[in-house]
């Protein structure tokens, strides 16, 4: 018997979790987005250090300094993002770091034999080790990744959302292999929020919520409802009881918009002066929906209609008539011209010019407002940006400080400033408070509130249910690419939202994997 | 699964940083010191170097290099590269020579043709790389060959002697300095203002820093990219005119390998090959450094091989110094 006791504490994300894992068992680790599942796995595999508590592996103290260190001790992890080099062959990937060679020259025969042996361990006899990884299906790649992590000395194998990319057949196959592994005494930690899978595969289940262990018990006898119940049930925030904002006229209507299987025929109506929240698990199509609405990807069906609106600087000073955009906007440029803004999920790569000053970043959305005949009015621009720094309470040395030097929260405030600078009608927000500390978060909420009050329509995607319940007037829940439910303020409970988010568990067509790889989608590729 | 909040956020107001104009001035000062050092060194090594004649010669030799380097600075700032400038310069000189000698065009018309030739070449480079999303390295490499071939075609592979029709451009006006030098100086000043004070300049820097962010902020990078290459072509056309005015001839081999000299000047000036960072003023310093180096090595009687070895070392050394400086000032 292999006993592992753990107990850690990392500042914000994980609070003193104590768990044990036995040889030959499958322990499911589940919880909402951000509950701490990934962090816990990363600590186990030496990717992040535990800041408190200790681990024991087979009675010995265990404190992996790095992933390599963890692997030396038999603890391996199959990550969500594949770690394979697509241009190299299966064999080269499997044996990377210990390729058989003679004076630097590869011994191909020995390499392929060793690779074949390793693949056979999980029953993968149909894959030729000489195939480049890029030629394999995503499911096969996942299996190769698993094979790579199956050395003889593997004692604990962590699988992080292993079925996210797999078809049902591949999933069945994976489960067979997991059974073989456990029969050999390998302990499996299976991280997933797919409850029906957990019921099939897990011996025990550990539920995390807000970084704390809620429950760890045998799977037998637990229903999915029981599990959902355990994932929720936390203190209700004061803000959650505030009244619904007075919504104005319709700002934007979305009719049956879709792209492949990632987003399937979503319809919704967005009013001025309201915050419409979008909840759902990662991979449920939330981000994809926002990208469609912003024209970053082209929809292959459906339409977006912008209601008639009053004159404003962003519309060139004349009132706008109602206009329908078939298959959404052609490009982000078209969307922005029509008065839409996007605060993207990844502000560093898609939002900011990190090496440039705050001033440059904040006014990017409308340079005509700070220029005359193409020449920038720098004093005016500085004054405008100073104003944003004050109202948004950006902590910085001044408008000339490069944005890359600011903290995450203050960087996000600069992104907000950019859309305040441009007088738009609809603002799309994708995880606007990700990586933002509590103090800055409050500032951002206040700003969102003000924007809504001043008549913008806000569509906000968030993984943080509490945040949505506090901020939104309505919450739409996405699951498997569909908008499965829309709740009015006061109608929702955390349970009902979560139940909706998990609702497509039965007939799930593996939305995310299928969509990103779907060659049948007639949509024009994203002009990325 | 969502990444959980990282435990610590970066300290906001930790390192006290130098104001922008100070770092800018520091760059200028550094380059000026290098330049002065080189002038001093050559004056010490050769008794003839420190003379008005030397400096007038340098001033009249650099305009072509300088105006092309201005265009190249813009191209590097948007994270592109244009290898075709030397060929474009030769073709522009060739078309204007053909216009004057064979078709009997007036000098202004021929000059306009030279500029138009450059503009068209640059626009093709920009448009092709934008339309098919190709690296400008590849497109301009193709242009380098194709345009050079065209130059041979237009000149019938022979140097065309234009005579003194446009030599006024290179003729001394004040204190031995030519009109061409004045034009180059004006272009440097205007280009620096465009870079730092216009919406166009702001967009160039933005595109070179993070093109996706610009697109998502509502700026279409495509017309700006094309415009930058078109402008670079236009300036190469002007360089062609300057060159044929100085030599009173259009040589189809003119400017062969000059693209590398241009890039060297820009990079010595501290403009990043990765885009997003650069300055026209520092490029002008880079041009001067290259010109002084060349003139000085000639005066001390360095052989052609040793000249090239030393030039190569100076280019790399200059970039190493700049990189170290940048890294120290880095975010």
Model confidence pLDDT, tens digit, residues A444-500: 998 999 999 888 999 999 888 888 988 999 999 998 889 999 999 888 888 888 888
Query: With 70 as the cut, is the pLDDT of residue A33 above it?
Result: no
Report residue A219's pLDDT band, with 50, 70 and 90 as the boundaries.
confident
Domain boundaries, chain A: 4-231, 243-339+424-528, 346-421
Residue among B12, B199, B212 minimizing CB distance to A396? B12
Q: Looking at beta carbons, which pairs linking A464-469 to residues 24 or more positions away fall under 8 Å?
A: A464/A33, A464/A34, A464/A433, A465/A32, A465/A279, A465/A494, A465/A497, A465/A498, A466/A234, A466/A237, A466/A240, A466/A494, A467/A433, A468/A277, A468/A278, A468/A279, A468/A497, A469/A237, A469/A239, A469/A240, A469/A277, A469/A494, A469/A497
Is the Cβ pair A375, B210 closer than 8 Å?
A: no
Is the separation of the CB atoms in A304 and A253 below 8 Å?
yes
Residue among A13, A375, A463 minimizing CB distance to B198? A375
Tens digit of each residue's pLDDT (9 = 90 or more) over A156-176: 888 887 776 677 777 787 888
Closest residue on chain B to A418 (Cα):
B217
* CA gap A181, B246 in Å, rounded: 81
How far is C-alpha B152 from the geometric centre of its chain's CA atoms? 24
Mean pLDDT of A91-107: 81
pLDDT at A31: 77
Give B206's contacts in chain A (Cβ within 8 Å): 353, 356, 360, 364
Query: With 90 as the cut, is the pLDDT of residue A522 above it?
Result: no
What residues have CB less than 8 Å from A226, skipping those under 6 apart?
Answer: none
Half-sphere exposure of A245 (CA within 13 A, CB side): 26
* CA gap A129, B163 in Å, rounded: 71
Closest residue on chain B to A394 (Cα):
B12
Report residue A9's pLDDT band, with 50, 70 and 90 as the boundaries.
very low
Better-predicted residue by pLDDT, A103 or B154: B154
Average pLDDT, chain A: 81
Which of A70-74, A129-133, A226-230, A336-340 has the largest mean confidence? A336-340
Query: With 60 as the cut, is the pLDDT of residue A10 above it?
Result: no
Is the Cβ pair A406, B10 closer than 8 Å?
A: yes
Give B277's contacts in chain A (Cβ within 8 Å): 355
Is the pTM of the predicted complex or chain greater than 0.80? Answer: no
Tens digit of each residue's pLDDT (9 = 90 or more) over A352-361: 999 999 999 9
* CA gap B151, B161 in Å, rounded: 15
Query: With 70 as the cut, is the pLDDT of residue A404 above it?
Result: yes
pLDDT at A134: 81
Instruction: Count CB atoms within 10 A of the CB of residue B214.
Output: 22
Residue among A332, A357, A402 minimizing CB distance to B215? A332
What residues have CB less than 8 Å from A336, skipping those under 6 apart?
Answer: A365, A422, A424, B217, B218
* CA gap A284, A462 in Å, rounded: 12
Is the Cβ pair A401, B17 closer than 8 Å?
A: yes
Is the Cβ pair B209, A355 closer than 8 Å?
A: yes
Q: What ipTM was predicted for this assembly?
A: 0.83
Is the separation of the CB atoms in A186 and A193 below 8 Å?
no
Which candidate, B39, B49, B258, B34, places its Cα nearest to that of B151? B258
Is the separation of the CB atoms in B202 and B77 below 8 Å?
no
- Placement of tokens 């949505």 in the chain: A468
Give the best residue of B18, B218, B331 to mutate against chain A (max A CB count within 10 A): B218
Element (H, E) at A15: strand A14-21
What residues have CB less than 8 Å from A494, skipping those under 6 apart?
Answer: A232, A233, A234, A465, A466, A469
Per mean pLDDT, which range of A60-74, A220-234, A387-401, B260-274 is the poorest?
Answer: A220-234
* CA gap A227, A230 in Å, rounded: 5
A4-231 CATH fold: Rossmann fold (3.40.50)
Report residue B217: phi and psi, to 5°. -95, 0
How far is C-alpha B128 from the geometric centre of its chain's CA atoms? 21
The whole-angstrom distance between A116's CA and the closest CA on chain B is 32
Report residue A414's pLDDT band, with 50, 70 and 90 as the boundaries.
very high
pLDDT at B13: 37
Closest residue on chain B to A417 (Cα):
B217
Query: With 70 as the cut, is the pLDDT of residue A427 above it?
Result: yes
Which residues of A69-112 form beta strands (DSSP E)?
Answer: 75-78, 101-102, 105-106
Tens digit of each residue's pLDDT (9 = 90 or more) over B248-285: 899 999 989 899 999 999 999 989 888 899 999 999 99
Is the Cβ pair A356, B209 closer than 8 Å?
A: yes
CATH architecture assignment, domain A243-339+424-528: 3-Layer(aba) Sandwich (3.40)
Is the separation of the CB atoms in A485 and A252 below 8 Å?
no
Which candidate, B206, B326, B207, B316, places its Cα nearest to that of B267? B316
Q: What is the DSSP string of A413-435?
A: HHHHHHHHHTT-SEEEEESTTTT
B22-40: string of b/e by CB count within 10 Å (b at 16+)? Answer: eeeeebeebbeebbeebbe
Mean pLDDT of A254-267: 91
Query: With 90 as the cut, is the pLDDT of residue A70 above it?
Result: no
Closest residue on chain A to B212 (Cα):
A350
Residue A253 DSSP symbol: E
Give the best residue of A33, A332, A368, A400 to mutate against chain B (max B CB count within 10 A): A332
The whole-angstrom distance between B175's CA and the closest CA on chain A is 35
Which candidate, A66, A80, A60, A184, places its Cα nearest to that of A122? A184
- Convert B155-179 into a string of H (helix), E (strand) and C (coil): HCCCCEECCCCCHHHCCEEECCEEH
Tokens coding A375: 């020449």
Q: Is B7 on the interface with A (CB under 8 A)?
A: yes
Is the Cβ pair B2, A333 closer than 8 Å?
A: no
The whole-angstrom distance between B89's CA and the closest CA on chain A is 29
The whole-angstrom distance between A494's CA and the closest CA on chain B is 19
pLDDT at B208: 94
Better-predicted residue by pLDDT, A293 or A349: A293
Give the best residue of B199, B207, B217 to mutate against chain A (max A CB count within 10 A): B217
The whole-angstrom distance between A120's CA and the closest CA on chain B is 30
Tens digit of each residue's pLDDT (9 = 90 or more) over A75-91: 888 876 667 888 888 88
Domain boundaries, chain B: 20-329
Report residue A72: phi and psi, to 5°. -60, -30
B20-329 CATH fold: ABC transporter involved in vitamin B12 uptake, BtuC (1.10.3470)
Which candidate, B200, B187, B183, places its Cα nearest to that of B77? B200
Q: Which residues of chain B have pLDDT under 50?
A: 1-18, 331
Q: How many Å is the Cα radius of gyration of chain B?
A: 21
pLDDT at B309: 93
Helix, strand, or coil (residue A350): helix
Per mean pLDDT, which range of A113-122, A283-292, B34-43 is the poorest?
Answer: A113-122
The whole-angstrom distance between A101's CA and the closest CA on chain B is 37
What residues have CB less than 8 Å from A32, skipping those under 6 apart?
Answer: A193, A209, A231, A232, A463, A465, A498
What residues have CB less than 8 Å from A274, skipping those under 6 apart?
Answer: A245, A247, A248, A452, A457, A458, A473, A474
Helix, strand, or coil (residue A491): coil
Report residue A520's pLDDT band, with 50, 70 and 90 as the boundaries.
very low
Which candidate, A332, A339, A334, A408, places its Cα nearest to that of B211? A332
* CA gap B219, A66 in Å, rounded: 43
Which of A309-323, A346-360, A406-420, B279-293 has the largest mean confidence? B279-293
Is the Cβ pair A332, B277 closer than 8 Å?
A: no
Mean pLDDT of A244-248: 81
């Amino acid at each position: 018997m292999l006993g592992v006791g753990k107990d850690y504490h990392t500042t914000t994300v994980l609070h003193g979790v104590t768990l044990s894992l036995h040889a030959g068992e499958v322990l499911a680790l589940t919880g909402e987005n951000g509950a701490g599942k990934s962090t816990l796995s990363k600590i186990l595999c030496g990717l992040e250090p535990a800041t408190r508590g200790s681990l024991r592996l087979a009675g010995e103290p265990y404190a992996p300094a790095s992933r390599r260190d963890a692997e030396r001790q038999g603890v391996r992890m199959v990550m969500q993002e594949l770690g394979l080099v697509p241009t190299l062959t299966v064999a080269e990937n499997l044996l990377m770091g210990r390729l058989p060679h003679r004076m630097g020259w590869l011994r191909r025969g020995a390499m392929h034999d060793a690779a074949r042996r390793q693949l056979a361990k999980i029953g993968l006899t149909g894959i030729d080790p000489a195939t480049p990884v890029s030629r394999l299906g995503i499911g096969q790649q996942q299996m190769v990744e698993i094979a790579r992590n199956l050395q003889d000395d593997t004692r604990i194998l962590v699988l992080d959302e292993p079925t996210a990319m797999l078809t049902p057949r591949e999933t069945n196959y994976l489960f067979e292999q997991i059974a073989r592994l456990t029969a050999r005494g390998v302990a499996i930690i299976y991280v997933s929020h797919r409850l029906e899978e957990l019921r099939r595969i897990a011996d025990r289940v550990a539920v995390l919520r807000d970084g704390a262990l809620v429950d760890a018990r045998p799977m037998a006898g637990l229903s999915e409802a029981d599990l959902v119940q355990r994932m929720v049930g936390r203190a209700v925030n004061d803000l959650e009881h505030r009244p619904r904002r007075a919504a104005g006229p319709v700002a934007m209507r979305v009719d049956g918009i879709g792209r492949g299987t990632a987003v399937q025929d979503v319809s919704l109506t967005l009013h001025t002066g309201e915050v419409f929240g979008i909840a759902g698990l990662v991979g449920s199509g939330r981000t994809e929906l926002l990208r469609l609405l912003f024209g970053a990807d082209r929809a292959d069906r459906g339409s977006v209609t912008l209601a008639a609106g009053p004159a404003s600087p962003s519309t060139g000073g004349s009132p706008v008539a109602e206009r329908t955009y078939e298959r959404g906007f052609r490009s982000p440029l078209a969307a922005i011209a029509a008065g839409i803004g996007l605060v993207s999920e990844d502000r560093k790569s898609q939002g900011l010019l990190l090496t440039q000053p705050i001033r440059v970043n904040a006014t990017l959305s409308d340079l005509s407002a700070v220029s005359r005949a193409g020449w920038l009015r720098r004093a005016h621009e500085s004054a405008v940006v100073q104003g944003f720094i004050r109202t948004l309470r950006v902590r910085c040395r001044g408008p000339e400080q490069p944005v890359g030097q600011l903290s995450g929260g203050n960087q996000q405030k600069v992104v907000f400033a950019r859309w305040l600078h441009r007088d738009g009608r609809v603002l799309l927000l994708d995880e606007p408070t990700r990586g933002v500390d509590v103090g800055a978060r409050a500032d951002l909420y206040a700003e969102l509130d003000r924007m809504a009050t001043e008549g913008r329509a806000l569509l906000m995607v968030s993984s943080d249910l509490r945040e949505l319940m506090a901020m939104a007037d309505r919450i739409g829940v996405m699951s498997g690419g569909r908008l499965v439910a829309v709740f009015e303020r006061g109608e929702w409970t955390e349970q009902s939202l979560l139940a909706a988010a998990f609702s497509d568990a039965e007939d799930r067509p593996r939305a995310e994997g299928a969509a990103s790889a779907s060659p049948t989608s007639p949509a024009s590729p994203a002009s990325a | 699964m969502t990444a959980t909040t990282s435990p610590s956020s970066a300290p906001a107001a930790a390192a006290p940083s130098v104001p922008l104009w100070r770092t800018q001035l520091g760059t200028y000062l550094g380059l000026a010191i290098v330049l002065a050092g080189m002038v001093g060194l050559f004056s010490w090594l050769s008794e003839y170097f420190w003379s008005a004649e030397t400096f007038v010669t340098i001033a009249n030799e650099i305009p072509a290099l300088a105006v092309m380097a201005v265009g190249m600075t813009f191209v590097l700032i948007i994270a592109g590269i244009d290898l075709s400038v030397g060929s474009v310069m030769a073709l522009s000189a060739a078309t204007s020579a053909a216009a004057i000698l064979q078709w009997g065009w007036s000098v202004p018309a021929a000059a306009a043709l030279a500029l138009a030739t450059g503009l068209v070449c640059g626009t093709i480079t920009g448009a092709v790389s934008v339309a098919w999303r190709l690296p400008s390295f590849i497109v301009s490499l193709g242009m380098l060959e194709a345009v050079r071939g065209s130059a041979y075609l237009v000149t019938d592979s022979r140097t065309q002697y234009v005579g003194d029709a446009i030599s006024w451009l290179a003729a001394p006006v004040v204190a031995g300095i030519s009109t061409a030098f004045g034009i180059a100086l004006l272009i440097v000043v205007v280009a620096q203002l465009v870079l730092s004070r216009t919406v166009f300049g702001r967009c160039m820097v933005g595109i070179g820093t993070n093109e996706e962010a610009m697109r998502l902020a509502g700026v279409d990078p495509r017309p700006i990219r094309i415009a930058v290459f078109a402008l670079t072509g236009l300036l190469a056309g002007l360089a062609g005119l300057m060159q044929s005015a100085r030599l009173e001839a259009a040589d189809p081999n003119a400017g062969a390998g000059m693209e590398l000299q241009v890039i060297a000047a820009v990079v010595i000036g501290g403009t990043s090959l990765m885009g997003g960072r650069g300055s026209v003023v520092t490029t002008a310093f880079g041009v001067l450094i290259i010109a002084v180096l060349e003139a000085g090595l000639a005066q001390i009687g360095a052989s052609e091989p040793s000249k090239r070895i030393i030039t190569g070392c100076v280019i790399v050394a200059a970039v190493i110094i700049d990189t170290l400086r940048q890294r120290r000032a880095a975010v």
